[in-house]
Amino acid sequence: MISPASTLGARFVSADHPAADGDPAQYFRRVFTVDSPVQSATLRVTALGIVEPFINGRRVGDDVLSPGWTSYRHRVVVSSYDVTADVVAGANVVGAIVAEGWAVGRIGFEHKRQFYSDRPCLFLELELDYGDRVETLGSDGSFRVGHGAVTSAGIYDGESYDARLEPDGWLTPSFDDATWEPAVVHDVDLGVLTFDGPPPIRRTQELAAVAISTTPSGRTVVDFGQVVTGWVRLSVAGPAGHTVTLRHAEVLTPTGEPEYETLRTALATDRYTLRGGGAPEVWEPAFTFHGFRFVEVSGWPGELDLADLTAVVIHSDMVRTGWLETSDPLLSRLHENVVWSMRGNFVGVPTDCPQRDERLGWTGDLHAFAPTAAFLYDVRGVLGSWLADLAAEQAEKGYVPWVVPDVASHPSAPTALWSDAAVGVPWALYREYGDVEVLRRAWPSMTAFVAQVEAALDADGLWGSGYQFGDWLDPDAPADDASDGKTDRHLVATAYFVETTRQMAEAAGALGLVDASARYASLGERVRNAFRHEYVAASGRLVSESATAYALAICFGLVEGPQRDRAGARLAELVKKADYRVSTGFAGTPLVAHALTDTGHLDTAYLLMTERECPSFLYPVTMGATTVWERWDSIRPDGTLNSTGMTSLNHYALGSIAAWMHRVIGGLEALEPGYGRMRIAPRPGGGLTSARLVHETVHGSVEIAWSIAGDDFTLRATIPPGTSATVELPEHPHAASEEVGPGTHTWSYPLLRTEREPYTFDTPLKTLADDPVAWRALTRVFRAHLPFPIDGSAPEAAHMSLAIMLPMIPHTSTELERDLRQVLSGL
């Protein structure tokens, strides 16, 4: 395949004027003649904007929103299509429609337009191989440009299409384009063109409408039952000039009206004006996309039927590789919500949200979610391309931007979890796929970032200055400052840098860079010592008393021995004190359940995981969520929106908790990059009686299924050729562990049960309080009946029981005693 930069005359072409807001899309065409049979014909096309190419009236390719969004100043992706069957002897027409897309339309917080180009531009090359010669037609001044039915189209605001304006026959040789203008060559550096881009964006699923309702204000609203990313295809018949308007929303208000606040300034509105003539007209937009579940329909001629509208789901062309089902429908739905949020936000670029006036490639969101993403889908293509953009932006600007591609006008300070995505994302891909070339390609970017932070450390090795996002979106952070959570921001930064240096040392080792590995290990030890001196007491307590602080210290090896045990116990206390509700943000949520599990507090991890009160992992599920929310309390218990300006209902970052579900509930963990060696160790809890995990690794499929029937446990595991597994059997009478090779293996045995005396009203309160499952259930009863809390950890609790305590409480009641007895009998 030839490089576009070496073509004979192909250039970017455009109309002879800059674009203005609301301008129609550009229609390009060129007639060419084929004078003898061709052996093959190849069309290569891209745009600054979004392009739909055509040959002789047929839409070429099944990809959408092409060429997607890359860092256009460094990389513009060219798509290649075999169009041999579309080329005919004699006169032919090649054409394209180009709309503004990301390159020209408004983008980012500053609502800039024309960030990459002041007008939509087309690049096209048609190569005709006759066998004895090759002829190439390239976009140049011989192309004609005009307008058609696409009267406006923007990423945020939607598409307007007037079918009456479509130029009949514009893709046939006989069309009279005398009123069209000659295209002009636009000065674009052809060195940015590349074939090495992400997988194309495609239509991946269609959803039928499930309900039509009329709101109290008289609006017609269609529900598709699932928050998706894409658009709506309509089939409508009516008079010429009649316009149907579709406005998209993620959620309804408590009164049933569409809630548009989550869109911010994005109009998210498509309009279709009918050609008329009586026959049904089928249309879907091609130059925009929306995040939605509900669509407000106005101007529909006649009675709207469910079959008239279809939701078209789009995302990057990725292969699904991870599944998890459990006996708890809420946990299974939570996992599916994570999957849907990933699908909705992997549209060319891994974005934060697909609905509002943002949709940016935030580094921190992806860094937190990368291990989960790599488990659920094969993301080598999407994230490989994104990392190439990150490296290009970083090399030009001298820092890792907070969003990639970078559309900000201000520089990005080096920050933990965000900027260190330059290291953490390649590391996550290496761990998942075992491909050392991922590290090799990213190594210059990785080392440049670490050098920048190393220079910012103080004399002791502490990352103690500069802006930090901290534990972003800690539920306790003030509404106007999501970075002002409970955890010291520079504690978060220093802890994450310790983990970054560990990854660097191991990555250097994988690359055979022995000296570099030793240097990064030494740097990591220096920063670790600084962290311990600044933030860790000899007892294992931390200066910053938050779940995130303890989770970071435990998971990143910043406490050890008795200190680690004390930190784990303190973390469990903090989680219990928060009533097992989520108290962590972006930095802590990926780690908190792992930290609890790894320090012997599995029951607490499950209580955290299965809590349903707001804010919690399952609260959104109980509220009908079908995707992961930006905040766990994005919708309040009364159904109203948490009006903070950041309340996306489709945001994958906090879905990072699914990595714990895969490892602990499903029981799968890679012991070496690529799963050549793995651990199979499910840890039942939370009342679960079964789970099934499937993961397609680079070696083949791993399947783990376990179930509990009475006191009997059964585990079945299938691992692929060329791999081995350490199987740790949960609650086995002899704590058995086995090494197994490829194939399917089954174990069945009676569970090791620890007998205890039944809980009664005479059981000491401290004994009840030491059982996290029992105490959570009892605490809920206390909270429902008493105006004050009951402290099971107080010294007198060792000698106090419910039988002694209840007569001493002035507000006691027969209902309180009844509910307590019911809880005790259920334990």
Instruction: Give the pLDDT mean for 672-686.
Output: 97
Contact call for residues 269 and 246 (beta carbons, < 8 A): yes
Report whether 300 contacts 236 (CB < 8 A): yes
Interatomic CA distance for residues 37 and 3, integer angstroms = 25
Report the C-alpha gap between 629 and 538 in whole angstroms: 39
Cα–Cα dist 374/321, whole Å: 8
Question: What CA–CA distance (Å, rounded) separates 629 from 517?
Answer: 39
Q: How much is the pLDDT for 781? A: 87
Question: N- to C-terminal Cα distance for the chain?
Answer: 69
Domain 673-750 falls under CATH 1.10.10.10: no
Instruction: Catalytic residue, from 127, 259, 432, 630: name it.
Output: 630
Question: What mean pLDDT is predicted for residues 290-313?
Answer: 98
Q: What angle do CA 683, 684, 685 make, to 5 degrees?
A: 120
Q: Which has more confidence, 6 or 759?
A: 759
Long-range contact set of residues 726-733: C-beta below 8 Å, sequence gap at least 24: 726/671, 726/677, 726/678, 726/679, 726/680, 726/681, 727/679, 727/680, 727/681, 728/679, 728/680, 728/681, 730/681, 730/682, 730/683, 730/684, 730/706, 731/684
CA distance to 40, 41, 58, per residue, from 130 (Å)? 7, 9, 22
The secondary structure of residue 86, as a DSSP letter, is: G
Band of residue 816 on the pLDDT scale cut at 50, 70, 90: confident
Q: What is the pLDDT of residue 421?
A: 98
pLDDT at 2 > cutoff 50 = no
Res. 810: pLDDT tops 90:
no
- The answer to whether 98 touches 25, Cβ cutoff 8 Å, is yes
The predicted pLDDT at position 790 comes to 83
Question: Would you call 630 a catalytic residue per the annotation?
Answer: yes
Active site residue 358: yes
Q: What is the pLDDT of residues 415-432, one digit of tens each?
A: 999 999 999 999 999 999
- Residue 607, CA distances (Å) to 142, 256, 613, 654, 688 in order: 68, 33, 12, 18, 12
Instruction: Quick: pLDDT tens for 569-620.
Output: 999 999 999 999 999 999 999 999 999 999 999 999 999 999 999 999 999 9
User: Following DSSP, what letter does each residue of 598-655 receive, concatenated?
Assistant: HTT-HHHHHHHHH--SSSSSSHHHHTT-SS--SSTTSB-TTS-B--SS---S---GGG
Q: Are 389 and 70 in contact (CB under 8 A)?
A: yes
Mean pLDDT of the chain: 95
Structure tokens at 776: 């959570």
Report the candidate in 95, 70, 708 with the shortest Cα–Cα distance to residue 349: 70
pLDDT over 70, % of the chain: 99
Q: How confident is the model at residue 8 (pLDDT cuts 50, 70, 90)?
A: very low
201, 66 contact by CB (below 8 A):
yes
Q: What is the CATH number of domain 4-152+163-198?
A: 2.60.120.260
- Among 160, 174, 345, 168, smallest CA distance to 268 is for 160
**202-316, superfamily in CATH?**
Galactose-binding domain-like (2.60.120.260)
Q: What share of the chain is helix, strand, coil (3-state, %, to 5)?
A: 30, 25, 45
- On whether the CB atoms of residues 273 and 162 are closer than 8 A, the answer is yes
Is pLDDT at 5 greater than 70 in this prediction? no
- Contact at 8 Å (CB) between 822 and 802? no
Tokens coding 121? 């531009």
Residue type, 475: P
Q: Return the DSSP state at 665.
A: I
What lies within 8 Å, CB to CB, of 535 at 6+ separation is 488, 491, 494, 542, 543, 544, 549, 553, 558
Q: What percent of the chain has pLDDT over 90?
A: 88
Q: What is the pLDDT of residues 26-81, one digit of tens each?
A: 999 999 999 999 999 999 999 999 999 999 999 999 999 999 999 999 999 999 99
Give the SS3 label for residue 268.
Answer: coil
Specify the pTM: 0.95
CB burial readout 233-246, b (16+ within 10 A) else e: bbebebeeebebbb
> What average pLDDT does this structure show over 301-306?
97
pLDDT at position 713 is: 97
- CA–CA dist 278, 281 (Å, integer): 9
- Per-residue confidence (pLDDT) for residue 797, from 0 to 100: 76
Copy the structure tokens of residue 643: 């009006």
List Cβ neighbours of 596 (8 Å cut-off, separation of 6 or more). 568, 571, 572, 575, 602, 604, 605, 608
The crossing angle, in degrees rounded to 10, of helices 547-555 and 561-577 is 150
With a cut of 60, say whether residue 3 has pLDDT above it.
Answer: no
Q: Which of 61, 50, 62 is nearest to 25 (CA)?
A: 50
Judge contact between 687 and 733, C-beta under 8 A.
no
Is residue 7 pLDDT above 60, yes or no?
no
Residue 413 has pLDDT above 70, yes or no: yes
Is the domain spanning 322-665 CATH 1.50.10.10? The answer is yes
Q: Which one is catalytic: 52, 125, 358, 499?
A: 358
Amino acid identity for residue 535 in this structure: Y
Please state the rounded mean pLDDT for residues 706-727: 97
Mean pLDDT value of segment 332-344 = 98
